[in-house]
A and B are shown apart, each in its own frame.
Chain A
Amino acid sequence: MGGIMACLLHKTHTFMANPLKCDLCNKPATVHLTQILDNKVHKVDLCEECAQEKGVTDPSGFSLADLLLKASLNNPDAGTGGIRCEQCGFTPADFKKQGRFGCPACYVAFKGILDPMLDGMHKGTVHAGKVPQKALERRSLHERLTKLEGDLSEAIKAERYEEAARFRDEINQVRQTVAQKPVH
């Protein structure tokens, strides 16, 4: 059964031997938060100031998801490797700085960084909601059109005219289906 979540908050003193370090600023951590989400345990250790600032001890609420995100950004493993999003030039270091991605394609480029982060951030890791059906159909029609146009010019080059005529008919058909409205 998914979604059972427990949240545990406890405090320690700074004079403890080998105190844990704050996930956000590396000062000794005194506030320890344990959350169990879908049978996975997530721990966040914070110093007094960060806990205050993030409202962890404040009953008016805080967002654990945001906190987990920021803590994982502070993880030294994140931000390594010379990957770069080909679409927009974004790097893992930029992500570490901003906590936001550069463009939709970053989700493919930085899959390695994203996957461990997603684990526990949400209820699941696979989308189960609405699908932009119209836009997706339009995109697949456009892709089909591009492919048919390639096939057509190849068929003409190879002088396979019968085949070319068939491709041309198909292209006309797809064109009629594609919405004439401008799409951004």
Chain B
Amino acid sequence: MTIGSLIEAPSELTDSVSSKSAIVLMTRIRLARNLAGHPFPGWAKPAQRMKIMDACREALGGVPAMKRGLSVGVDELAELEKRILVERHLISRELSGSKQGSGVVISKDQTFSVMINEEDHLRIQMMRAGFQLKKVWGAINELDTSLEDSLDFAFSPELGYLTACPTNLGTGMRASAMMHLPALVIASQMEKVVRAVNQLGMVVRGLFGEGSDASGSIFQISNQTTLGESEEDILKRLSGVLQSIIEHELNARARLLETDSGKIFDKIGRAYGILQNGHVLSSNEAMNLLSLIRLGVDLGVFPDSKRSVTDRLFIEAQPGHLQYAQKGEFEAGQRDLLRAERLRSEFANFDRPDFNLSANGKN
């Protein structure tokens, strides 16, 4: 598979959206692994990095899950291609900035991606649309075990998997859910939620990880600690936290509808109007408008089938994807025009909002 055909193919996040992903858009688990007896990527010399990358790519080539996928060195990718992979959550910003001796192997269906020589020798990641912690863990655990056939992972019985940074020791596992929480944001309850979640040993971040803002009311919630607990226990704890955030979001929606439905419907209606008719849209504004349309779908203002449209546009309205679709280099200002044009055409045939539907108490 080439990078071109990968970009053209629908990704996991844009293709398999259902009502199951109403609040949890995506579940993701990553495992940090290193090869025994080799220096970590940040300390390895170029020749050592190349050797490690070759070994990892060879091992990954023999795993059924990665058959006919994309296997590529970072230095073989153009800037725009890297940007698209970042926007699809297939590689990290850190990897896209690294030079020789780093690479990525991505499965054909874009659910698995394995970064090579990022912070650790291997960063194995699996993601699926919706709330699927168990399924994702099952799949990534299997891939990890099959890699043991050909790779000796650095492991100590006391400290578990040995990682470049001690904050990842033990399981080396970071599990996260991407959540759409518009009602908690509108009701100004997010701060309270973040504090409570932090107290439970979980971390809340924006859409694109560390330091990014929560545009589109999308947040990532993940476990903070990796040592001293089994994978199953971490996932159980995370799952409990996610479940309770879902309940809070649903309660906040119910309360908003009860006390202030005019305000919510106004926001959704205006978002629809701007998406259909706007001419200049920044990435941030587009995300926030799409978030309101998505909330409309959840509330029954728009048909359920339209959720996949908003989720696809969350990604396609990002600068890299926009640039790729338009085949050219654009300034930020031009991009805002193109983005609005793109969204106008997407929303030209989008169902009109039906504000009576939500009286049926959907959601």
Interface status of A166 (Cβ within 8 A of chain B): no
Residue-wise interface mask of B (236-248) relative to A, using a CB-CB cutoff of 8 A (1 in contact, 0 not): 0100000000000
Q: Which of B152, B157, B164, B203 contacts A127 (CB 8 A)?
A: B157
CA distance A128 to B145 in the complex (A): 17
Q: Which of B35, B171, B198, B228 contacts A130 (CB 8 A)?
A: B171
- Also in contact, A184 and B152, with CB within 8 A (given A100-B119, A126-B158, A129-B229): yes
- Also in contact, A184 and B158, with CB within 8 A (given A61-B194, A122-B170): no
Interface status of A114 (Cβ within 8 A of chain B): yes
B211–A55 CB distance below 8 A = yes
Residue-wise interface mask of A (85-97) relative to B, using a CB-CB cutoff of 8 A (1 in contact, 0 not): 0011010001000
Which one of A3-11, A145-153, A167-175 contacts B?
Answer: A3-11
A60–B226 CB distance below 8 A = no
Residues of B whose CB lies within 8 Å of any CB of A are 34-40, 42-43, 55, 59, 119, 141, 144-145, 148-162, 164-167, 169-171, 173, 190-191, 194-195, 197-201, 203-206, 210-211, 213-214, 219, 224-231, 233-234, 237
B159–A107 CB distance below 8 A = yes
Closest Cβ neighbor of B59 among chain A residues: A184
CA distance A13 to B218 in the complex (A): 35
B154–A104 CB distance below 8 A = yes
CA distance A184 to B237 in the complex (A): 35
A5–B169 CB distance below 8 A = no
Residue-wise interface mask of A (8-51) relative to B, using a CB-CB cutoff of 8 A (1 in contact, 0 not): 00000000000000000000000000000100000000000000
A183–B150 CB distance below 8 A = yes
- Also in contact, A61 and B204, with CB within 8 A (given A122-B228, A183-B150): yes
- Report B-chain residues with C-beta under 8 Å of the C-beta of A179: 149
Given A60-B213, A104-B36, A118-B166, 10 new contacts (CB under 8 A):
A6-B199, A101-B40, A103-B37, A122-B170, A124-B229, A129-B173, A135-B152, A136-B155, A138-B152, A182-B150
Interface status of A177 (Cβ within 8 A of chain B): no
A122–B194 CB distance below 8 A = no
CA distance A134 to B194 in the complex (A): 40
A7–B151 CB distance below 8 A = no
Q: Which of A5, A55, A59, A134 contacts B148 (CB 8 A)?
A: A134
A129–B170 CB distance below 8 A = yes
Question: What are 26 contact pairs spanning A and B, CB under 8 A?
Answer: A5-B200, A7-B195, A60-B205, A60-B219, A61-B194, A61-B197, A64-B224, A69-B167, A101-B164, A101-B165, A102-B39, A104-B34, A104-B37, A104-B38, A104-B162, A121-B167, A122-B226, A124-B228, A126-B227, A127-B169, A127-B170, A128-B230, A129-B160, A132-B153, A134-B145, A183-B152
B151–A183 CB distance below 8 A = yes
B167–A132 CB distance below 8 A = no
Rounded to whole Å, the gap between the CB of A64 and the closest CB of chain B is 7
CA distance A69 to B169 in the complex (A): 13
Rounded to whole Å, the gap between the CB of B223 and the closest CB of chain A is 9
B201–A114 CB distance below 8 A = no
CA distance A59 to B196 in the complex (A): 11
Interface status of A78 (Cβ within 8 A of chain B): no
CA distance A135 to B219 in the complex (A): 37
- Report A-chain residues with C-beta under 8 Å of the C-beta of B226: 122
CA distance A64 to B224 in the complex (A): 8
- Also in contact, A123 and B191, with CB within 8 A (given A6-B199, A100-B164, A136-B155): no
Q: Which of B141, B160, B170, B225 contacts A65 (CB 8 A)?
A: B225
Q: Which of B150, B157, B197, B233 contacts A181 (CB 8 A)?
A: B150
B42–A98 CB distance below 8 A = yes
- Also in contact, A60 and B151, with CB within 8 A (given A114-B166, A118-B227, A121-B167): no
- Report A-chain residues with C-beta under 8 Å of the C-beta of B199: 5-7
B169–A59 CB distance below 8 A = no
- Report B-chain residues with C-beta under 8 Å of the C-beta of A104: 34, 36-38, 40, 154, 156, 162
Rounded to whole Å, the gap between the CB of B174 and the closest CB of chain A is 11
B152–A139 CB distance below 8 A = yes
A102–B43 CB distance below 8 A = yes
Closest Cβ neighbor of A103 among chain B residues: B39
Rounded to whole Å, the gap between the CB of A51 and the closest CB of chain B is 15
Rounded to whole Å, the gap between the CB of B220 and the closest CB of chain A is 9
Rounded to whole Å, the gap between the CB of A143 and the closest CB of chain B is 12
Interface centre among B167, B199, B200 (most CB of A within 10 A): B167
- Report A-chain residues with C-beta under 8 Å of the C-beta of B145: 132, 134
B166–A121 CB distance below 8 A = yes
Interface status of A117 (Cβ within 8 A of chain B): yes
